[in-house]
């Protein structure tokens, strides 16, 4: 019996699904973490490919292509997966950016710790934000929404039909600017409160010159910053939850991007 008929797919369908899934795993939040072994990532990409391959409807036959035509087609599929993961991961970067906004005025700007997911050094509160965002991302089933978007992407971008329209650049820039906007919204309460604390310390230094405001300021700003962070943590959770929900900004921009990536 023909094995391809038995499993309901051919080698072309499996390769097209595997390459796009691999691109997604490389850049998607949590999936791209260095804490996940490479073999586990490969198995996940293979599982996604096996799931979606029977539903990939394409007239392409990589076996009939020349070598370079087949490579070009697979590269296109890889790019689609990379873009999908990156669009969602920009929101994660926004949370790390908010950590920079927290750390610098609080005096933690010189303290960096190793992020096990990316393998890079990030600020102390940036790591806290990244952990919080990851937990909320899982809690609102953001990873499942991403996988669902991956499966549905074959209805929008048929294999071999990838084309980067000019409008896609605008969507990416909008997503990139939204990263800074979200990071600023999360960081502004702490930054604003510490700014007011700096103003108060400046006034005190003028009224009572004998007080060493420079030394006192470090402790005061840390206490004020952490207190403000604790008071606004519910608002942060709400903003992150809204961003990662299936109807939120992150996946809405992802769907817009997919519509502009097909010829």
pLDDT tens digits, residue range 95-141? 878 877 777 777 776 666 666 666 666 677 777 777 888 888 888 88
| Model pLDDT, residue 249 | 84
State both tokens at 169. Answer: 């650049």
State both tokens at 98. Answer: 């908010």
Contact between 97 and 180 (Cβ < 8 Å): yes
Would you list the DSSP string of 201-247? HHHHHHH-TTS-HHHHHHHHHHHHHHHHHHHTHHHHHHHHHHHHSTT
Determine the average pLDDT of the residues in 8-23.
Answer: 81
Among the ranges given (4-13, 170-179, 249-258), the one the predictor scored with the smallest mean pLDDT: 4-13
Q: pLDDT grade, residue 59 (50/70/90)?
A: low
- Tell me which of 210 and 136 has the higher pLDDT: 136
Determine the average pLDDT of the residues in 18-36.
Answer: 87
Q: pLDDT grade, residue 245 (50/70/90)?
A: confident
**Rounded to an integer, what distance in angstroms lies between the CA atom of residue 27 and that of residue 239?**
22
Residue in 159, 12, 154, 156 with CA at minimum distance from that of residue 76:
159
b/e for 9-34, b at 16 or more Cβ within 10 A? bbebbbbbbbbbbbbbbbbbbbbbee
Q: pLDDT grade, residue 239 (50/70/90)?
A: confident
The number of domains in the chain is 1
**Rounded to an integer, what distance in angstroms lies between the CA atom of residue 261 and that of residue 222?**
46
| Model pLDDT, residue 167 | 83
Would you list the DSSP string of 19-38? HHHHHHHHHSTTTT-TTS-H
Q: Tell the residue number behind the tokens 């019996």, with chain if given.
A: 1
| Model pLDDT, residue 1 | 42
The percentage of residues in the chain with a pLDDT greater than 90, rounded to a whole number, is: 3
**Rounded to an integer, what distance in angstroms lies between the CA atom of residue 86 and that of residue 88?**
5
Q: pLDDT grade, residue 92 (50/70/90)?
A: confident
- Tell me which of 65 and 191 has the higher pLDDT: 191
For 146-196, what is each residue's pLDDT tens digit? 888 888 888 888 887 777 778 888 888 888 888 888 888 888 888 888 888
Among the ranges given (2-11, 34-43, 111-120, 245-254), the one the predictor scored with the smallest mean pLDDT: 2-11
| Model pLDDT, residue 43 | 92
Radius of gyration of the chain (CA): 23
| Model pLDDT, residue 218 | 79
Q: Which residues touch 91 (CB under 8 Å, ≥6 apart)?
A: 29, 133, 179, 182, 240, 243, 244, 249, 250
Q: Which residues pair with 122 in a beta bridge?
A: 113
Q: Which domain holds residue 132?
A: 3-259
Determine the average pLDDT of the residues in 52-57.
Answer: 79
- Tell me the pTM: 0.81
């Amino acid at each position: 019996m023909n094995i391809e008929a038995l499993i309901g797919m051919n080698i072309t369908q499996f390769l097209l699904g595997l390459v796009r899934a691999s691109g997604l795993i490389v850049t998607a939040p949590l999936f791209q973490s260095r804490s996940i072994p490479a073999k586990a990532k490969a198995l996940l990409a293979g599982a996604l490919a096996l799931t979606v391959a029977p539903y990939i409807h394409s007239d392409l036959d990589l076996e009939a292509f020349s070598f370079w035509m087949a490579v070009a087609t697979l590269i296109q599929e890889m790019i689609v997966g990379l873009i999908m993961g990156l669009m969602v991961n920009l929101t994660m970067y926004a949370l790390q950016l908010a950590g920079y906004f927290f750390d610098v005025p609080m005096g933690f700007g010189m303290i960096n710790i190793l992020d096990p997911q990316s393998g890079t050094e990030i600020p102390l509160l940036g790591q806290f934000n990244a952990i919080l965002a990851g937990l909320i991302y899982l809690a609102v089933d953001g990873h499942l929404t991403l996988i669902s978007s991956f499966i549905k992407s074959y209805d929008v971008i048929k294999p071999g039909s990838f084309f980067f329209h000019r409008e896609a650049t605008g969507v990416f820039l909008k997503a990139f600017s939204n990263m800074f906007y979200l990071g600023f919204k999360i960081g502004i309460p702490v930054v604003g409160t510490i700014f007011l604390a700096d103003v108060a310390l400046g006034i005190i230094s003028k009224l009572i010159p004998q007080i060493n405001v420079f030394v006192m300021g470090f402790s005061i700003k840390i206490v004020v910053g952490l207190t403000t962070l604790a008071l606004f943590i519910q608002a942060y959770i709400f903003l992150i939850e809204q961003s990662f929900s299936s109807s939120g900004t992150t996946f809405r921009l992802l769907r817009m991007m997919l519509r502009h990536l097909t010829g």
